[in-house]
Amino acid sequence: MFAYKKISYAQHNEDTENSQIECNIVPIAPRISGYIDQIYVKENQRVHKGDTILKLDDRDLKIRLQQAFINAKSAGANVSVVKVMLHPQMHLPVLPLLLSLLHRQI
């Protein structure tokens, strides 16, 4: 009876104590850090090079980009102020001119 069960089981099932699976596992590393907004793949789904796997939440990046634009605009205004102050043929009062430049830049 034992031999019949063992043979019957072996015909339909593979059994080994030393098995290995061959597969390609590739690590994924993001270029930037952030929170995940959407995931486009399922677990164990086959993906190819260039496939979009997930989407990061970009709200923090948009805020940082706006801050960089504001800082660049402010630096440009500061450069304009310094150029006006260093102009050699300046005979006008400096304060009203500086205020008008600052209001135009902002």
pLDDT tens-place string over residues 17-56? 666 667 777 787 878 888 999 999 998 888 888 899 999 9
Check: pTM over 0.85? Answer yes or no: no
Domain ranges of the chain: 2-105
Q: Is the dihedral of CA 29, 34, 40, 43 positive or negative?
A: positive
Beta carbons of 37 and 56 less than 8 angstroms apart: yes
**What residues are paired with 55 via a beta bridge?**
38
For residue range 61-102, what is the model confidence (pLDDT) as tens digits?
899 999 999 999 888 888 877 777 776 665 556 666 666 766
